[in-house]
Amino acid sequence: MNTDYTHEYLTLIEEVAEDGELTHREIVRLAKWLNDNMDGRKTWPASQFLPLLKDVFADGKIDEAEAIQVGRLIQKVRREWAREHALSGVKPFGVKLDDAIGCFDDGAPRLIAIPTKLQVASFREPDLTYDLDLTAPSCSCPDFQSYRQHLPVGHISRCCKHIMQGYAEIRPSSGWPSWLEPFLEAGFRPHPEQEWCVVEVSTCNYLVSSASPEWGNVYARIDGVSEKYGFSIDEHRWSYGKEPAEPASLANAIRRLSTR
């Protein structure tokens, strides 16, 4: 494996995923790299994107379903990287994962406290590692130390991308409960100033974020399926036209959080 190509494409993936909204232009960037790097497209993870992006651009346009497929592949690649590069493995403090999950309240916008330590490798600098503690959670990376450590214990915006990697490493085989599964599996690093609430819609609890700065996100597990929705408070629309149940009430929740 040519690690230069691998880390270059991983860096590109992180850049396009940064704001949580996968745009047409960002998908084009992923495809352009493949066109410009004939050798690089044979290496992981670029090789994973090549057949999908060929299909996406076969008709010259990108529709909602195709954008969702690209987003899911991005998350799959990030999870694979996280699981392969959790260097020191899991170091539990004596609390079983099932016990921690049993304390989860899906009506409250808080992370599960999991007394576990591990290390993960940086996407961009694979020789650099960060120490994680998923109790609060906390991380030794500059992003967490500078912008997130002051947030209350359990606050969802404490999640830097390495903490997201850490949760991916210990994900139970049955998945995380309720909205936590789509947030951890389909979500991206939240902005440190994002606020959160839980809104009940049709007996299902939805995790809702404030906009950052334009897009707010909604996460829910519906009939066993993880769902993520994005809403633009500037353009008053749902990402790629994909709406949740009762879209008006959830859009209003995003607006309320964004004006606090």
pLDDT digits (tens, 9 = 90+) for 117-158: 888 887 777 688 899 999 999 999 999 999 999 999 999 999
For β-strands 116-121 and 91-92, DSSP reports them as antiparallel
Put the strands of the sheet holding 129-133 in their side by side order: 91-92, 116-121, 129-133, 138-139
Name the residue with higher pLDDT: 77 or 21.
77
pTM (global) more than 0.85: no
Q: Answer with the one of 143, 177, 211 that is the final residue of a domain.
A: 177
Q: Answer with the one of 177, 212, 247 that is the final residue of a domain.
A: 177
Total domain count for the chain? 3
Q: Are residues 37 and 108 in the same domain?
A: no
Say which residues have a Cβ less than 8 Å from residue 231's Cβ, sequence separation at least 6: 211, 215, 216, 217, 218, 237, 238, 239, 247, 250, 251, 254
Helix (H) or strand (E) holding 204: strand 204-209
Q: What pLDDT does 88 receive? A: 55
Q: Does residue 218 register a pLDDT over 70? A: yes
In 3-42, which positions are buried (b, 16+ CB within 10 angstroms) versus exposed (e)? eebbebbbebbbebbebbbbeeebbeebbebbeeeeebbe
Convert the pLDDT of each residue in 160-215 to its tens digit: 988 988 888 788 888 899 999 999 887 778 999 999 999 999 889 999 999 988 88
Q: Are residues 78 and 92 in the same domain?
A: no
Q: Are residues 62 and 110 in the same domain?
A: no
Q: Are residues 12 and 76 in the same domain?
A: yes
Q: Are residues 99 and 173 in the same domain?
A: yes
Q: Are residues 70 and 90 in the same domain?
A: no
Name the residue with higher pLDDT: 234 or 3.
234
Task: Tell me the residue range of the domain where 99 lies.
Answer: 86-177
Q: Answer with the one of 52, 84, 116 that is the final residue of a domain.
A: 84
Q: Which of 2-6, 42-46, 49-53, 68-72 has the lowest mean pLDDT?
A: 2-6
Q: Does residue 2 register a pLDDT over 70? A: no
Q: Are residues 148 and 129 in the same domain?
A: yes
Q: What pLDDT does 257 receive? A: 96
Q: Are residues 111 and 168 in the same domain?
A: yes
Rounded distance between C-alpha atoms, residue 117 and residue 88, angstroms: 9
Q: What pLDDT does 220 receive? A: 94
Q: Are residues 155 and 190 in the same domain?
A: no
Convert the pLDDT of each residue in 61-113 to its tens digit: 888 778 888 988 988 888 787 767 665 555 665 567 888 898 899 999 999 99
Q: Are residues 164 and 198 in the same domain?
A: no
Q: Are residues 90 and 173 in the same domain?
A: yes
Q: Does residue 33 register a pLDDT over 60? A: yes
Q: Are residues 69 and 115 in the same domain?
A: no
Q: What pLDDT does 86 receive? A: 60
